[in-house]
Each structure stands twice: as structure tokens, then as C-alpha cells.
Chains A and B, each alone.
Chain A
Amino acid sequence: MELTAAEKEANLWSGGQRPLNGSYGKLMMWFFIVSDALTFSGFLVSYGFSRFKNIDSWPIADEVFTHFPFLHGIDAPMYYVALMTFILIFSSVTMVLAVDAGHHMNKSKVTFYMLLTIIGGAVFVGSQAWEWKNFIKGEYGALETKGGQILQFINADNGERVPIGDFSISIPTERSAHKGSNGLWYKSEGALTSYSVNEVVEGFQVNKNLLIRIEKLDKNGQKIILTRDDSLDKVENAVAVVEGANLIHNEYGNRLFADFFFFITGFHGFHVFSGVVINVIIFFNVIIGTYERRGHYEMVEKVGLYWHFVDLVWVFVFTFFYLV
């Protein structure tokens, strides 16, 4: 709201000025957004650093994210994240409609659009959790060599990936997970993998139609598949079985990929989650009429800025993790 010339003169040295014609709260939100944007760009650029450093062996996103709800076993790269992107853009739209309704002091419309925004955000966070679950669980399993390289298995007949469970030989063993209660109390280990290295390696040696696919990419950007002889040499180097992904091991390829995936999408997901929480608070404030009494809905505008920023970041995360 513009001040008159006389008011400006009177307030010049005693506060009441609105620099850049924005209110205090909005400017502070912009400060936060600019600094947060720099934080996210720092993360994404460091992801770019690791990727260009390992440009010839980076995992192929299309092979990592292939799931779609209720479509089991169907290879559907990208569709689900595309859907998530649309959900987030749409919740951004309902947010901006809520802001617009706020300008018109239309309480019921603000309430309605805020509710839609909250639902959209919640669906997005849920989708991300599902995406994480698939990523962590893994699909095919792989072997890891001493140097941290991932060896994946391919059927030589049709070129398709083979889960380690399909060919591993069962070797009876007494090995069980070591817990602090049944050995050195200060040492323990996580759950054992479903198959031991020997079971996978011997199964591989018996099945003549299996080949190994290494991390390195060929000229066309496809993972290199070794010949049967090279595969048999390579499999000797295996030291561990990897199923799924965590911060230390990653069956999809370079472990940095999993680290950055967890860190960046996790940090973004945390932003979405806190956005939903803030939206819920504002939503109830709208319902009980706080802003009606205050005479303006600027608070909705401020959380709106934050919400759009979260959407903006997702646009970049989507590009750099799933498309590029």
C-alpha cells in the first residue's frame, strides 16, 4: 500500500517506510528463499561434480527408477516422478489461487484452496517415501568388488537383468548375523544378505548363460557387458553381496549416487514436509478467522512464497536426478 507524500516525509526517519515496496515479513521470506536457493544449488552442483568426475560410470536413472504403483514387474521409467512433478505443480497452483482469493478477502475460497494445497503436498511426500522404499529395497541385487565396483547379472539370451535370487545356489552354512549379545559386546553387524558371496558366485559359474555387466558405460551410454570368460574372471573379485541401496552400498552402481539421492531428495522432502506443516497451521488460522480480523491475508502469501520455492527446487531435482 502506497503512502502519501506527507506520510512519507513524516515517517522517513522514524520507521514506517517499506523499502522495495514489500512488507517486512515478505522481505524476510525472500531473504530466506535466496539463501536456501544457494544451499540447494550447492548440493546440486556437488552432485554435478561427482557426476562429471565419474561421467563414464554413473548409474542410468531410467534403470533405477522403474516402478509405478499397482504395476508390478512393468518397466515404467520416469512415469511416476513425472506424476509427482505434476502433483507438486498443481499444489503450487492451488496455493497461488489461495493467495489470490486472499487478496479478495474471500475466506471460504482461501480455506478450500489451502486444503487442496495441503493434500497435494501430503500426496507428494507419500510418493517420495514410496520412491525411497523401492530404492532402498532394490530389485535385482548385485555383487560388489573390493574396489567398490558393482557387478550386475545379465541373461546372455535376451539381454535382460537377472535377480541374484534366480540363480544362486543354496550352500548350507552356520553363519548368522553377529550381535553384541553373542560375541564381543562392542561389535555387531546389520542383517545378513539373503545370499552369501559364495552362493552367488558358484551359481554364476554353473549357469553358463549368465554374463556380468560392469559400471562403465560404452560410447552409447549403455553399461558394458563382459564376455563369459571376462565375467568369470571378474566374479572372482567379488567381496560382498549388495541388495538395494543405503549410504554405504548401492546395487545400482556408484555409491555416491545413492548418497546424493538420499541427501538431496531427503532435504527437499523435508522442505515439503515442513511446508505442509506450516500450511496446516495457516489453514487453521484461516478457519478461525485470524486473517479476517487482521484485515489482510499476507500470511498466506508468505507461506505461498515458501511453497512455490519448494516446487521450484523440485523442478531442478527432477531434471538433474531423473532426466539428465
Chain B
Amino acid sequence: MAEDFHKLAIFRGLLKFKSNVQKIWGVLIFLSIVTTIEVVLGIVKPEFLLSYFLNMKLLNWIFIILTLVKAYYIAWDFMHIRDEKGSLQGAIVLPLIILIPYLIFILVLEADYIFDVMNSGFQSWNF
């Protein structure tokens, strides 16, 4: 399989690499930067990020978004989804992005409800 087999541009064409090996190192650097940001935020916990948005700390939203960014680059560049046909990309990704948010939605909503019930009407757990 020849070198042109791989699509070598990331960030929507903003960054183009000369070879696949270079792209791999480039993605590694990007992932390391993102992880470092996460770890630093996790240790420092800046005050202004501790406010709440949709029942969750802003900091936690940032962690989750950065995680999804990392997941995207691992799947697209390390697992070569970028080089697959569109139909295969869809077959892999669509079930996950439909089912997982749905699962999160029903379970987290239910958990929040149970928390409210136990918090407001049921105190005997605290003994």
C-alpha cells in the first residue's frame, strides 16, 4: 500500500504532514498537549471554572470536551478511520453517537431524580 493511501491533513486541512510517520508524531504531540492541559487544570482547579453550568462544573465540561477531542484523534488518526470509506466511518461512529448519549440521558436523568427524592424526602440514610 502506497503512501498516498493515507490522508495526511489534520485540523480540517490546517496542518498538512509530508508522510504518515510525521502525522503520527504530530498527533502524539497534540494529544500530549491536550492531556497536559487536562492534568494542569485538574491540579490547579482555577476558581472561575468552578461555577455550574447545566448541573455540572464548568471544569468538568471542559474535561469531557477535551476527552472527546482526544478520542476523535485517536480514532481518526491512530485507528485510521480517516482513511476509511464514508460508509464504514458512519457504520462505526453512528451507532455509538446515537446510543451512548441516549443511555447517558436516561440514566443520568434518573439518577438526578433519585438524588432529589432522597435529598428532600428521605433522611434516614444518614445515620
Q: A residues bordering B, Cβ < 8 Å?
A: 1, 20-22, 27, 30, 33-34, 37-38, 41-42, 45-46, 48-56, 62, 77-79, 82, 85-86, 89-90, 92-93, 95-97, 99-100, 103, 145-147, 149, 216, 220-221, 237, 301, 304-305, 308-309, 311-312, 315-316, 318-319, 322-324
Task: Check A42 against B39 for contact (C-beta < 8 Å).
Answer: no
Whether the Cβ atoms of B32 and A86 lie closer than 8 Å is yes
A312–B92 Cα gap in the complex (Å)?
Answer: 14
- Contact status A38-B99, CB under 8 Å: yes
Would A48 and B111 count as touching, CB distance under 8 A? yes
Give which listed residue, B77, B103, B112, contacts A42 with CB less than 8 A.
Answer: B103
Residues of B within 8 Å of A46, CB to CB, are 107
Set of chain B residues within 8 Å of A53, measured between Cβ atoms: 111, 114-115, 118
Q: Which residue of A lies closest to B118 (CB)?
A: A53
Asked whether A308 lies within 8 Å of B79 as measured between CB atoms, the reply is: yes
Q: Are A89 and B111 in contact (CB under 8 A)?
A: no
Residue of A78, A237, A315 with highest tally of chain B CB at under 10 A: A315
Shortest Cβ distance from B108 into chain A, in angstroms?
A: 5
Asked if residues A34 and B95 are in contact (CB atoms below 8 Å), the reply is yes
Q: Is the CB–CB distance between B20 and A100 below 8 Å?
A: yes
Smallest CB–CB gap between B88 and chain A, Å?
4
Give me the 7 closest cross-chain CB pairs, A-B, nearest first: A52-B111, A20-B88, A147-B127, A319-B67, A53-B111, A82-B39, A49-B111
Question: Is B78 a contact partner of A96 (Cβ separation < 8 A)?
Answer: yes
Are A92 and B67 neighbours in the complex by a CB distance under 8 Å? no
Interface: B119 (CB within 8 A): yes
Whether the pair A52, B108 counts as a contact (CB closer than 8 A) is: yes
Main secondary structure of the interface of B (DSSP, over half): helix
Q: What total of A-B pairs shows CB separation below 8 Å?
A: 140
Interface residues on B, range: 35 or more
Residues of A within 8 A of B79 (CB): 304-305, 308-309, 312
Asked if residues B42 and A93 are in contact (CB atoms below 8 Å), the reply is no
In whole angstroms, what is the CA distance A112 to B100 when docked?
37
B35 to chain A, nearest CB (A): 6
> How far apart are A260's CB and chain B's nearest CB, in angstroms?
13
Query: Is B120's CB within 8 Å of the partner chain A?
Result: no
The reply to whether B107 and A48 contact each other, CB–CB distance below 8 Å, is: yes
Contact call A312/B75, Cβ cutoff below 8 A = yes
Question: Are A149 and B127 in contact, CB atoms less than 8 angstroms apart?
Answer: yes
**Known pairs A30-B91, A89-B31 / 8 extra A-B pairs, C-beta < 8 Å:** A1-B1, A41-B103, A54-B115, A56-B119, A86-B32, A92-B74, A147-B127, A216-B126
Asked if A315 contacts B115 (CB within 8 A), the reply is no
Per-residue CB contact flags for chain B residues 85-96 toward chain A (1 = under 8 Å, else 0) read: 101100110011
Chosen A-B contacts, 13 in total, with CB atoms closer than 8 Å, are: A20-B91, A34-B96, A38-B95, A38-B99, A38-B100, A42-B103, A45-B104, A52-B112, A100-B21, A147-B125, A220-B50, A305-B79, A324-B64
Task: Tell me whether B5 is interfacial, beta carbon within 8 Å.
Answer: yes
Knowing A22-B88, A89-B32 touch, does A145 contact B74 (C-beta < 8 A)? no
CB pair B85–A21 under 8 Å, yes or no, is yes
B82 within 8 Å of A (CB atoms): no
C-alpha spacing A77/B40, complex, angstroms: 11
Are A41's CB and B115's CB within 8 A? no
Given A53-B111, A319-B67, does the pair A237, B60 have CB atoms closer than 8 Å?
A: no
In the complex, what residue of chain B is closest to A33 when comparing beta carbons? B92
B-chain residues with CB within 8 Å of residue A54 when the two chains form the complex: 115
